[in-house]
Amino acid sequence: MPVSYIEAIRTGLAEEMRRDERVYLIGEDIGIDGGAFKATQGLIEEFGPQRVIDSPLAEGIIVSSSIGAAMIGMRPVAEIQFVDFITPAMDAITQQAAKLRYRSAGTQTCPLTVRVCYGGGTGGGLYHSQTNTTWFAHEPGLIVVAPATVADAKGMLKASIRQDDPVLYFEHKRLYRTIKEDLPDGDDFIADLFHAAVRREGKDATLVTYGYMLQVALQSAEKVEQETGATIEVIDLRVLNPLDRDTILDSVAKTSRLCILQEDHRTLGIGSEISAIVAEDAFDCLDAPILRVAAPDVPAIPAAEPMEQFYMPNVEKTCAALHKLLQY
Catalytic residues: 128
Identify whether the C-beta of residue 165 lies closer than 8 Å to the C-beta of residue 29: no
H-helix or E-strand spanning residue 279: helix 270-281
Report the interhelical angle of 5-19 vs 150-162 (nearest 10°): 30
Sheet holding 52-54, edge to edge: 52-54, 23-27, 75-80, 113-118, 167-172, 143-145, 239-241
Short-list 163, 39, 44, 28, CA closest to 86: 28
For residues 66 and 114, give the distance between their C-alpha atoms in angstroms, rounded to a whole number.
Answer: 9
Identify whether the C-beta of residue 205 lies closer than 8 Å to the C-beta of residue 324: no
Query: Is the peptide bond preceding residue 242 cis, with omega within 30 degrees of 0?
Result: yes
